[in-house]
Structure 1
Amino acid sequence: MAIFISNIKFNIGDSIYVKDPETSELGKKILKESILLINEIGFEEFTFKKLGIKIGSNESSIYRYFENKHKLLVYLSCWYWSWIEYKLVFATANMENPMQKLIKAIAVVTEKIEDDETTDYINESVLNKIIIEEFSKTLQTREVDNENKKGYFIIYKRVINRIISFVEDVNPEYPYAKSLISSIVEGALHQHFLKDHLKTITNCNEEISPMHFYTHLVENLLKK
């Protein structure tokens, strides 16, 4: 898969950025270093001024790409879910058994992420940590309805809807496919968070992953 990903340009809505960061070396550097800095200090402490120091550029140069740090975080989340969508399509493309296809899809959205070295300006492993810690900040804002209308979350919803269709193939009579899959995709992030920070309230650990939990859940819930 790495051979193909290196040549792919994800289509992220242009309402999120001022200038597409993937069209210049500075833009790619902004993406690369913002991921590392957010992971290092957290989104609350992250500022464009600190990022400017990190990349050796004026703060104003970052504003030529993003209006504010919220839109930068939205962009990073869109890139992440686009990458997950690509992995999902690739992993399930030639599978005919509906349950096996669903289980593979669940593995893609719940598994531990390793860095894809072909994308040298995006460390997917570190970006995954940011999504686990910070993704709720892209959704749970007062502007969520307006941003939804602008298409900020279309890729995230597309990932969920694709897996919903797999559930419907497995058991078309199951009435809660949408709630099930949105809970799994969101819940996997939460279980990874609990595994890392609040270990006493999750069964997930170094041996048991969120993938194991959600695979068990789906297999038992949807069996006819």
Structure 2
Amino acid sequence: MSSITIVLADKYFKKDPHSSDLGRRIVSEGLAMLNDLGFEEFTFKKLANSIDSTEASIYRYFKNKHKFLVYLSTYYWSWLEYVIEFETHHIKERSVKLDRVIDIICHSYELPDVLDLPELNISQLRRVIDNESEKTYLNRQVDEINRKGLFMGYKKLCGKITSIVQDLNPNYQYPKALVSTILEASHQQTFFAHHLPSLTELEANGNGLLEKQSADFIKHTVRSVLKINSNIVI
């Protein structure tokens, strides 16, 4: 059983979904439904029917489905930040640490069971992030959402990885831009491989090769821009 507890601030919900059995069902079944239907087809009415509840009950926890997606995305970023700290705090070699971070964000590294989330399916959550997370900020309300601090989980994750990049090459001018780019690439390239394959050399075949290819591509990019010795085995 996982010992991880991710605690999000109350700005991400109207009522903490982890405070009740209904709230936990809303999150777990809502995640599964988002994964199956996609954000556009997902509705609270469909979710209410699936969990034998009412739309009004769901609205007591989340203002709308966009806030629900922001909640799930932040949950994922916060979990990823925890995993990176857990898996890299003991690594002294800076380039090795960055390689491990890339493996983690690309899911090409097998994590110990202790890092599982007790109530959310990590595979489903990752697919929702790949397919839907850009919709949290690619909208007209992005500035208002940002002012409310709802992107803090993503910013904290980027900040953590940025500090590793800066430690590796303090003279590099664009560490924040590099980190946000590789984080987005880890999802976009996976999405392209599944849906727009002419835009990438990565191959979607379901046997773990896609995750490894994604990690290799990002490592190659990072090594090139940071001018890390490409002869080092990664």
Using structure 1 for the length normalisation, give the TM-score. 0.92
- 1:109 Cα deviation from its structure 2 partner: 1.3
Query: Residue deviations 1:42-78, cap 9 Å, x none?
Result: 1111111100000011111101101111111110001
The number of residue pairs the alignment matches comes to 220
Matched, 1:215 2:219: yes
Query: 2:3 corresponds to which residue?
Result: 7
- 1:112 Cα deviation from its structure 2 partner: 5.0
CA distance in 1 between counterparts of 2:39 and 2:109 reads 20
CA distance in 2 between counterparts of 1:58 and 1:112 reads 39
| Structure 2 counterpart of 1:65, from 61, 66, 76 | 61
Q: Structure 1: which amino acid aligns with 2:77? A: W
| Structure 2 counterpart of 1:171, from 144, 169, 172 | 169
Q: 1:103-142 residue pairs with structure 2 within 5 A?
A: 103-111=99-107, 118-142=116-140
Matched, 1:34 2:38: no
Query: 2:157 corresponds to which residue?
Result: 159
CA distance in 1 between counterparts of 2:227 and 2:101 reads 17
CA distance 1:112–1:42, change in 2 (3 Å): farther
SS in 2 for 1:15: helix
CA distance in 2 between counterparts of 1:21 and 1:7 reads 18
- 1:137 Cα deviation from its structure 2 partner: 0.7
- Larger displacement relative to structure 2 (167-176 or 107-116): 107-116
Conserved 8 A contact 2:74-2:153: yes
Unaligned runs of 5+ in 2: 229-234
| Structure 2 counterpart of 1:22, from 15, 18, 22 | 18
SS in 1 for 2:186: helix
- 1:27 Cα deviation from its structure 2 partner: 0.5
- 1:11 Cα deviation from its structure 2 partner: 2.5
Conserved 8 A contact 1:78-1:153: yes
- 1:113 Cα deviation from its structure 2 partner: 8.4
Conserved 8 A contact 2:23-2:61: yes
- 1:148 Cα deviation from its structure 2 partner: 1.2
Matched, 1:197 2:195: yes
User: 4+ residue runs of structure 1 moved beyond 6 angstroms?
Assistant: 113-117
CA distance 1:21–1:146, change in 2 (3 Å): same
Percent of pairs with identical residues: 42
CA distance in 2 between counterparts of 1:220 and 1:23 reads 47
Query: 2:232 corresponds to which residue?
Result: none
SS in 2 for 1:46: coil
Query: 2:76 corresponds to which residue?
Result: 80
Using structure 2 for the length normalisation, give the TM-score. 0.88
CA distance in 2 between counterparts of 1:169 and 1:128 reads 28
CA distance 1:139–1:197, change in 2 (3 Å): same
Conserved 8 A contact 1:81-1:156: yes
CA distance in 2 between counterparts of 1:114 and 1:20 reads 31
Query: 1:44 corresponds to which residue?
Result: 40
CA distance in 2 between counterparts of 1:114 and 1:30 reads 28
